[in-house]
Structure 1
Amino acid sequence: MCRHLAYLGDEERLGTLLVQPEHSLYRQSWAPRRQRHGTVNADGFGVGWYADGDPVPARYRRTGPVWGDQSFADLARVVGTRALLAAVRDATVAGADGEAAAAPFAAGPWLFSHNGAVTGWPGALAPLVSGLPPAELLSLEARCDSAFVWALVLHRLHAGDTEGQALADTVVEVAEAAPGSRLNLLLTDGRTITATAWGDTLWYLIEPGRRVLVASEPHDDDPLWREVPDRTLLTANRTDVLLTPLKDMSDDKASAQHKEPRT
């Protein structure tokens, strides 16, 4: 399993978001409070962030535990951003991919992370391989389940799907091919955050007009944190959070949507 977090809002230092909170993502690498599968997230980490005026995010990823990386400590202390996605990794199975398997994955304006595991990997997803062009398969950053799920999402984004539809259709497709998979996906383009809760915890906090955070678990005890129901698609910007049951994605979406009130 893994833990991940996305942020949109007023400019903050990376350390303010990822290190300083009492139960920060940094601390969740060895002491998560709500992780249901696995106990330590020390198999890699990464952060992607956006600079004003540049739609393509920068990334810093490493294999090994975040607490042992002095370069990350320096970055977190001085780099500021209005949008980021970060993750700490607990590898489902051993592999040689190292840094390449650490989220966030990236393409164009997007950053992506997968908190969970695909059951029966890789055999269970073999039928889905035919849906990807050979060039996209050969371009996979890593050979882990998360990288393949990202390839499925990215293929849909490049085909013109919205972020929400790309995540929702991918989750349903993978869950049908590999029942029992845990598929909490997190995606941002620096302006919006899209996520799925499917098999593990997902929380959000919004202060309309100031900030929105979406994370595997709260990084502090702020009473504004709310848990996302399982099998739900979340879409958010700095003003609103929208929750849509994934089981209703193919039904009347207008009747399925629930919009969080502004405060």
Structure 2
Amino acid sequence: MCRHLAYVGPPEPLGRLLVEPAHSLYRQSWEPRRQRYGTVNADGFGVGWYADGDPMPARYRRAGPVWADLSFADLTRVVRSGAVLAAVRDATVPSADGEAAAAPFAAGPWLFSHNGAVKGWPGSLAPLAQNLPAVDLLSLEARNDSALVWELVLARLRGGDSMGQALADAVPEIAAAAPESRLNLLLTDGVTIAATAWGDTLWYLARPGHSVVVASEPYDDDSRWQEVPDRTLLSAGRTDVLLTPLKEPNDTPAPAPSKEPRS
């Protein structure tokens, strides 16, 4: 599977978020503490970030393990950003797509990551793929399940859905087509974060009015980390975190969202 993390808040060196913590995403590439599927995330990695005044994020991605990239430490030491999305990858099936298969995927102002696996890939999602324009399918960055999941989410974003709505609608639809899939999705536009917990772990660390981190697992032992319940949509910014139960496939509408207390 994968481990991923998103941050919005005051500009920080990337290394302070991704490398320096005791159980950082960097370390999770070989020693995750809460990963339920797979043991080592060595099949690629990536980080996307936003520069002041530019709504379009930059990305740095590679096909191999993050610990083998000697440039990564230099990059994360000097680059600062107030919005970051990063991931380390454990491939579900072999692929020749190289770094193109590594998150974050990007389009316009958005960065996206998928922690999980689509059951029965690729055949299970063929009916959903048929609803996408041919040009979008031919433009997929990679031939893996995460790239197609991203395209299904992106179609909703381009249609005018908010980030949270796009994830909340896409996940039950994908789960109905491919039962038993794991669909922890992470999305940011550089200002807010939307994420789903669906089959794997998801946590957040909120500092009121300051910053929020959303991650597959805590990168340190700060007692303020909160676990997101399974089958939940998270929407977060600097000021609040909103948790909304997700609909099960073919289920009735979900209950109204609840705002989590900030401590």
TM-score bucket of the superposed structures, by smaller chain: over 0.9
Is the 8 Å Cα contact of residues 115 and 185 (structure 1) preserved in structure 2? Answer: yes
Deviation, 1:51, is 0.5
Q: More deviation in 161-170 or 149-158?
A: 161-170
> 3-state SS of the aligned residue for 2:247?
helix
For 1:180 and 1:248, the matched residues in 2 are separated by: 12
1:189 partner amino acid: D
Look up the equivalent residue of 1:151 and give its one-letter code.
E
Question: Once the two structures are aligned, what percentage of the paired residues are identical?
Answer: 76
Q: State the one-letter code of the partner of 1:85.
A: L
* Farther-moved stretch of structure 1 (102-111 vs 167-176): 167-176
**Residue 66 of structure 1, CA deviation:** 0.3
8 Å Cα contact 1:47/1:103 also seen in 2 = yes
For residues 104-147 of structure 1, give each alpha carbon's deviation from its aligned partner in whole angstroms, at most 9, with x where no partner exists: 00000000000000010001111111110001101100000000
Distance in 1 between residues matched to 2:58 and 2:252, nearest whole Å = 38
Closer, same or farther: CA 36–248 of 1 in aligned 2, 3 Å: closer
Distance in 1, Cα, partners of 2:189 & 2:252: 27
Following superposition, the deviation at residue 72 of structure 1 comes to: 1.1
TM-score where L is the length of structure 2: 0.97
Partner of 1:211: 211
Distance in 1 (alpha carbons) for counterparts of 2:253 and 2:72: 46
- Distance of aligned partners of 1:248 and 1:91 in 2 relative to their CA distance in 1, 3 Å threshold: closer
> Matches of 2:189 and 2:214 in 1, distance apart?
14
Counterpart of 1:161, as a letter, is D
Where do 1:6-25 residues align within 5 Å?
6-25=6-25
What's the counterpart of residue 221 of structure 1? 221
CA distance in 1, matches of 2:23, 2:42: 16
Give me the CA root mean square deviation: 1.3
* SS of 2:32 mapped into structure 1: coil
Q: Which residue of 2 aligns with 1:180?
A: 180
Q: Does the CA-based 8 Å contact 1:248-1:256 persist in structure 2?
A: no
SS in 1 for 2:130: helix
8 A contact 2:172–2:248 mirrored in 1? no
Unaligned 5+ residue runs, structure 2?
A: none
- Flag as ranges the 4+ runs of structure 1 deviating above 3 A: 248-253
